[in-house]
Copies of this chain bind each other. A is one copy, B any other.
Amino acid sequence: MSRTTVSNAYNRPDQLSPQLRNRVMEAARTLGYPGPDPVARSLRTRRAGAVGLLLTDQLSYAFRDPAALAFLEGLTLECDIAKTGLLLVPAKPESEDILAVSSASVDGFVAYAMPDDDPHLMAALARPVPAVVCDQPDVEGVDSVGIDDHAAMRQIGEHLLDLGHRRIGVVCMRLGRAVMDGPVDITRQEGARYHVQRNRLAGLREAFTRAGVAWDRIPVVERFDNSVAAGASGAAEVLSLDPGITALVATSDVLAFGAMQELERRLQRVPQDVSVTGFDGVAEARNRELTTVVQPFLEKGHQAGKLLLDPARRPQARKVILDTEFLPGRTTAAPPV
């Protein structure tokens, strides 16, 4: 029996007589042939049947961050439709080991919120497969999905300014690949390796600078982790830098929850004593009526998947900017008199 016939028996049952097909399958059982080898098939067909996903952090991190989860959910829905697997590629930011990226058998990559200079990102973009970046700076020839972080954060700044706040503090997420928890000077703010954080800080800065508030007086504190605990300790540090602030701006909802926890511990009322804002619009933020910006994470994942899996790929890179919505909540009010 020839190879071709066996291949057809598995892949094109209609191309050969049912009895021959049965004979093939029976022989396979007898001989212990487990069916076509996926890797060899991929080599021949030039299709891996999987999409690679690069995340900011080690794999397990993604399962703790509600925002990353929603993105993943949107992306997997597209993968389901395209009958494509999703390969979570280990890409710890502190590791320089890009072997996992360069040897991942995938038909394309999605990079989500990676730092601009991450070697894993570089390695993925260097691969001769399509890629989509999400929440990252545009790269020549690479499709991208994102929001206008700058404008969204400026809205939050303007909201606080309208309420009358002038002395504020900021807790932001990591700005580089190394742990650098502490106060952030303007140089580091501008040179942040994370597109999203850089733009949010810049947007806030623009709002305050326009209103005539000196930005270099505003304490900005960095935390590596996006966790409630990090938000709490970040808020504590901001308050130690300027105990007189009337509002705390966090660059994520999760950090804002931590800030609120710390304020509560200090018996400071929100918003009567200190206003707090977040960013993202995760479920808990809506429940607790945090003043925040809602961004469509699920839709981001959808769009990223669609761009990557769209068979009719355009000759030039496409760029999707999704809408955000400023959502005033009960955690902001006029500063105390």
Interface residues of A (CB under 8 A from B): 34-43, 48-50, 52, 58-60, 63-64, 69-70, 72-74, 76-77, 79-80, 83-90, 92, 97, 99-100, 102-106, 126-128
Contact = CB atoms under 8 A, between A and B. Distances in A.
Chain A residues touching B, majority SS: mixed
A88 to B, nearest CB: 5
Contact of A49 (B36, B63, B76, B105): B105
B50 A127 contact: no
Counted per complex, copies of this chain come to 2
Contact of A38 (B34, B79, B104): B104
A77 to B, nearest CB: 5
Nearest to A88: B86
A225 to B, nearest CB: 15
B90 A87 contact: no
A35 to B, nearest CB: 6
Nearest to A52: B85
A60 to B, nearest CB: 5
A306 to B, nearest CB: 15
Contacts of A74: 60
- Which of A40, A84, A90, A128 has the most B CB atoms < 10 Å from its CB? A90
A92 B99 CA distance: 31
Given A40-B43, A49-B104, A105-B49, A59 B79 contact: yes
Contact of A63 (B58, B73, B106): B73
B42 A60 contact: no
Contacts of A104: 38, 49-50, 85
A83 B59 CA distance: 11
A250 B70 CA distance: 27
B63 A69 contact: yes
Contacts of A83: 90, 97, 99-100
